[in-house]
Amino acid sequence: MPKHRESKHYKCDLCGLTFLLKGRIQHKYKTAHDHYTEVNLPNPEQLAAGPGASTRLTMSDSVTWSESNVTAEMRRKYDVPIRTLLRECQTSPIPALPTESRWNRNRRLYQRIFPEDRDIPFARIGTFSDTTDDAEVCGCRLWHMFKTVVLLEEQVRARNDPQFGALLDRVRNGLQTQQDLKLLNANVVGRPEITFHNGLRAITPLNRNRWALNMEAVVGWARFHKRDIGIFVSTHTWRNGTVSPNTIAQTIGQGDDSACKVPGVFFYAQGMPVVVNKNIYTALKVVNGAEFTAADIIPDPNYPGYYLADDVTIYFGPPSGILLQSEETKTFAIPSLPAGTVLIRPTSHTLDPTNSHFKFLPTRCTRRGLPVAPAFVLTDYKAQGKTFLEILLELRGTRMTNGEPSRCDFTSLYVQLSRCTTLQGVKFLSPVRPQDFIGNTLDRSMADGMRRLGKLAAETVQAYKRRHSE
């Protein structure tokens, strides 16, 4: 075991915080505190010794570090085991952990390596037992710790369309008018007018509508560009017993969603846009939600194709892989692959009857296929961060009440409308209902959160001006 490198530490006599030399200099500059006392702090081996160690760091201790060789060495040495411990504790019932367990000992070590003012302010989040059953509470506490905020409120996408930008401002502030509704409903198009071969994209909050529209879009796009169509049916293996043909058909018809990254059926045409459903090569930006062009596909010889039409072939099994390309991959040179492409292989996913989408299954089933889907139609969630010149929208809720769709969620309303650059580029398949638009605002908690962020943003700007005016 390498010997721990000793460093001098200095405790501020006024506020009680302890620093390395560089941290002391920074603290003195920020606070004008002049009096410091040199102190001896325990090394990592003493900290790890547990409750019997006479020099252990307690929960109330506060140490501010600047990055140093000592800190870097401690991070390298203890980061992985402690994070593993955190994951173990998250899945273990709290009563099963003794009072002075590995968790309690290593939590102190964790604070020593990642103190309050750096990286993971764990102590301020609260005790682990408070947040084990509700990760959202932990995340909320962490979110509220951010005090430096910059709000970007300008409608950058719609900067060249003042009328559309003003409409989006009113939507964001909950001030939609009947005139705004008329403007939107003037852009309703008929079904025969919908063609995806000219760059049109669609957004819908419903996965089932996305599956159907994507299949239709691939066929229309491929035939316009005179490309062959490949239909790849993912393999499904049931764990026990036999299943009826209806169950098999229903399972295959259930496409990809947030819980299942592999579609039951994948429609393919060379050159079409596709979206990746899971993180595959994070460093190469082949991640969940990333969009690519399908450069080519590699059929699996174990699943021969059957012609359904001159330009349509069906395969009862996934391909061996699909080659994707984008602006990000232009410089890639992966051995055995065409320049500028990446290869995605099939993956397996377990379909569980405990999942609400697969309650009809009599037993667990393993689906194997490509974790990608056509990108002609996206959900409002996957559309976040994207910009389109022409977009087909579906403003509605995700539930059905008395045969009618529920009210459109405000977040979905705003995300969908704000993806386009001009009002002329926004299209609707059916008229926008008044209840989906008029009076549709953020709920109180979200509005309070936005007001809080606005206040913090103003304070951040003022602090910036003060620092740079001195």
Query: In the prediction, which pLDDT does 280 show?
Result: 94
- Does 219 lie in the same domain as 111? no
Say whether 77 sits in a helix, a strand or coil.
Answer: helix
- At 27, the pLDDT band (50, 70, 90 cuts) reads low
Distance between CA 434 and CA 379 in Å, rounded? 22
Does residue 444 belong to any structural domain of this protein?
no
* pLDDT of 97 strictly over 60: no
Q: What is the mean pLDDT of residues 353-381?
A: 93
* pLDDT of 92 strictly over 70: no
Distance between CA 261 and CA 372 in Å, rounded? 8
Q: What is the mean pLDDT of residues 134-156?
A: 76
Whether residue 234 contacts residue 267, with contact meaning beta carbons closer than 8 Å, is answered with: no
Of 343 and 37, which is predicted with more confidence? 343
- Does 95 lie in the same domain as 220? no
* pLDDT of 164 strictly over 80: yes
Query: In the prediction, which pLDDT does 389 show?
Result: 92
Of 118, 137, 164, the domain-final residue:
118
Q: What is the mean pLDDT of residues 11-17?
A: 73
- Does 369 lie in the same domain as 232? yes
Q: Which of 187-201, 285-299, 399-413 has the highest mean pLDDT?
A: 285-299
* pLDDT of 321 strictly over 90: yes
- At 448, the pLDDT band (50, 70, 90 cuts) reads confident
Does residue 228 belong to any structural domain of this protein?
yes
Does residue 383 belong to any structural domain of this protein?
no
* Least trusted range by pLDDT, from 126-130, 161-165, 273-277, 381-385: 126-130
- Does 92 lie in the same domain as 238? no
* Least trusted range by pLDDT, from 134-148, 155-169, 186-200: 134-148
Please report, in angstroms and rounded to a whole number, the separation of the first and last CA atoms in the chain: 49
Whether residue 258 contacts residue 306, with contact meaning beta carbons closer than 8 Å, is answered with: no
Q: Which of 51-65, 147-161, 304-318, 398-412 has the highest mean pLDDT?
A: 304-318
What pLDDT, in 10s, does the model give residues 370-395? 999 999 999 999 998 899 999 999 99
Distance between CA 64 and CA 215 in Å, rounded? 56
Query: In the prediction, which pLDDT does 447 show?
Result: 83
Of 94 and 418, which is predicted with more confidence? 418
Of 243 and 312, which is predicted with more confidence? 312
Closest to 61 (Cα-Cα) out of 115, 102, 113: 115
* pLDDT of 13 strictly over 70: yes
Q: What is the mean pLDDT of residues 231-239?
A: 94
* pLDDT of 404 strictly over 50: yes
Does residue 362 belong to any structural domain of this protein?
yes
Total number of residues shown for the chain: 470
Whether residue 108 contacts residue 59, with contact meaning beta carbons closer than 8 Å, is answered with: yes
Whether residue 318 contacts residue 346, with contact meaning beta carbons closer than 8 Å, is answered with: yes
Q: Which of 159-163, 196-200, 270-274, 359-363 has the highest mean pLDDT?
A: 270-274
- Which two structure tokens, joined as six digits, stand for 409? 């969620």
Of 375, 404, 439, the domain-final residue:
375
Total domains present in the chain = 2
- Does 105 lie in the same domain as 229? no
- Residue bearing tokens 């037992």: 129
Query: In the prediction, which pLDDT does 134 show?
Result: 55
Say whether 268 sits in a helix, a strand or coil.
Answer: strand
- Does 339 lie in the same domain as 224? yes
- Does 232 lie in the same domain as 370? yes
- Does 248 lie in the same domain as 362? yes
Half-sphere exposure of 40 (CA within 13 A, CB side): 3
Does residue 224 belong to any structural domain of this protein?
yes
Query: In the prediction, which pLDDT does 122 show?
Result: 39
- At 460, the pLDDT band (50, 70, 90 cuts) reads very high
Does residue 315 belong to any structural domain of this protein?
yes
Closest to 393 (Cα-Cα) out of 132, 194, 224: 194
- Does 114 lie in the same domain as 213? no
Four-point Cα dihedral 113, 115, 120, 122, nearest 10: 110
Query: In the prediction, which pLDDT does 444 show?
Result: 84
* pLDDT of 89 strictly over 70: no
* DSSP strand pairing (229-233 vs 265-268): antiparallel
Of 355, 375, 395, the domain-final residue:
375
Does residue 171 belong to any structural domain of this protein?
no
Closest to 167 (Cα-Cα) out of 420, 463, 450: 420
Instruction: Please give the residue range of the domain that contains residue 232.
Output: 209-375
- Does 241 lie in the same domain as 342? yes
Query: In the prediction, which pLDDT does 61 show?
Result: 37
* Least trusted range by pLDDT, from 8-22, 247-261, 322-336: 8-22
* pLDDT of 110 strictly over 60: no
Does residue 20 belong to any structural domain of this protein?
yes
Query: In the prediction, which pLDDT does 409 show?
Result: 92
